[in-house]
A = this chain, B = another copy of it.
Amino acid sequence: MQFQLVRKDKGTGARAAILKTDHGEIRTPVFMPVGTQAAVKALSPQDLSEIRAQIMLSNTYHLYLRPGSDVVRRAGGVQRFNGWHKPILTDSGGFQIFSLNDLNKVTPDGLQFRSHLDGSQHFFSPQKVVQIQRDLGSDIMMVLDECVPFPAEFSYVRKSIRRTAAWARTSMTEFQQAPPLHGHSQALFAIVQGGVYPDLRRECTAQLVDMDFPGYAIGGLSVGEPKEAMYEMTGIVTERLPEQKPRYLMGVGKPDDLLNAIERGIDMFDCIIPTRNGRNGQAFTAAGPLNIKNVAHKDSAEPLDSECDCYTCTHFTRSYLRHLYVAKELLILKLLSFHNLYFYMSLMERARKAILHNRFAEFKKQFLSRYHNDQP
């Protein structure tokens, strides 16, 4: 994997870069649609190509449990399995084990957990998580981390980040010993934890930077902490990360979160919001979020977003989309997910263009002013 910094915005920390993988190039800032179980909900690989998605996220925890990483390995890796032939990043499962399971135990060697599917007992060590991702063949693999909840005691988080750093080192060793299985190279990213404690974020960053990973993620944010804390932690970490490596803010977020994080030097994002909110009837538009259930749309011949040129906005009225939602027609799940992801892709493309022209701050201001004030 190669990372080429193309431009740094003059007025902010925003960056435009190109990330090269064996499955193709990724222009950043980039938003990665979430395909937890090797499929983005309600969308096909063809849809994702039409949306101009560059990379899909999938999940180690979920694929390990179902269909089983052995099935994906025998298929020739996740791209051959799911028909998405562009880059794939797999999250390590640390976050899912904490968010989906009541019963779990953190030991110095890894995470003990119960399957959310059948209650069966499993153990993820840092080594095992690397091995599973070798089976999966994702272009970007993530190390096992401990994702601490918010709020959490300083003393617990301090202990936890030292464990997370030790696991990162173990993961790197395993990564160097276990070669890729599917004929293409894979990169391993570390994950900076530290809750909302600046000192711990600094300490964790320093330790992981010493290990010289090819990329760094920021984890454990967007878990209930105030937005200001999220932005502050993001800034503290990105200031300390090496400039020539990609930075990924995990699980974030809404359009304003993305712009605020890009401003602080983040290159990569993933989040379920555009697809999940779409399935719940919320559409993102240039004039702010819109709820398609609203009776105001009953006879509206307007598109969802008159500034959008996606399939949904160029073919269907709000009246029809509202009918589909109210009538619980499956098609609405696709049409709103498609539009929302298209909106996110377009936002990233516009942010990149603004950075290339040294006017990111102005772009952000204009976008947010229209997004927050001029409600449709």
Q: Which residues of A contact B (CB under 8 A)?
A: 37-46, 66-67, 71, 74-75, 81-83, 298-299, 301, 311, 315-317, 319-320, 322-324, 326-327, 329-331, 333-335
- Contact (A329, B74) CB under 8 Å given A67-B319, A319-B67: no
In the complex the two chains form, is A329's CB within 8 Å of B44's CB?
A: no
**30 A-B interface contacts by CB (under 8 A):** A37-B324, A37-B327, A39-B324, A39-B327, A39-B329, A41-B330, A42-B331, A42-B334, A43-B331, A44-B315, A44-B335, A45-B315, A66-B327, A67-B298, A67-B319, A67-B322, A67-B326, A67-B327, A71-B298, A71-B299, A71-B323, A75-B299, A75-B301, A81-B319, A82-B316, A83-B315, A83-B316, A330-B333, A330-B334, A334-B334
Which residues in B have their C-beta under 8 angstroms from that of A298?
67, 71
A331 CB contact (under 8 Å) in B44, B74, B75, B319:
B44
A301 CA to B74 CA, complexed, in Å: 9
Which residues in B have their C-beta under 8 angstroms from that of A323?
37-38, 66-67, 71, 81
In the complex the two chains form, is B75's CB within 8 Å of A320's CB?
A: yes
In the complex the two chains form, is B44's CB within 8 Å of A320's CB?
A: no
Which residues in B have their C-beta under 8 angstroms from that of A335?
44
A32 CA to B61 CA, complexed, in Å: 42
Which residues in B have their C-beta under 8 angstroms from that of A324?
37, 39
- Contact (A319, B42) CB under 8 Å given A329-B37, A330-B330, A333-B330: no
| Most chain B C-beta atoms within 10 Å of own C-beta, residue among A40, A326, A331 | A331
A326 CA to B37 CA, complexed, in Å: 11
Which residues in B have their C-beta under 8 angstroms from that of A322?
67
| Most chain B C-beta atoms within 10 Å of own C-beta, residue among A75, A83, A301, A320 | A320
A333 CA to B333 CA, complexed, in Å: 11
Which residues in B have their C-beta under 8 angstroms from that of A327?
37, 39, 66-67
A324 CA to B41 CA, complexed, in Å: 10
A81 CB contact (under 8 Å) in B40, B41, B44, B317:
B317
Given A75-B301, A334-B334, list of 18 further CB < 8 A pairs? A37-B323, A37-B327, A38-B320, A39-B327, A42-B330, A42-B331, A44-B335, A46-B315, A66-B326, A67-B319, A67-B323, A67-B326, A71-B299, A71-B323, A75-B299, A81-B317, A81-B323, A330-B330
A323 CA to B37 CA, complexed, in Å: 9
Which residues in B have their C-beta under 8 angstroms from that of A43?
331
In the complex the two chains form, is A329's CB within 8 Å of B67's CB?
A: no
A221 CA to B239 CA, complexed, in Å: 73
A317 CB contact (under 8 Å) in B40, B75, B330, B331:
B75
A311 CA to B44 CA, complexed, in Å: 10
Distance (whole angstroms) from the CB of A7 to the closest CB of chain B:
36
Distance (whole angstroms) from the CB of A328 to the closest CB of chain B:
9
Which residues in B have their C-beta under 8 angstroms from that of A326?
66-67
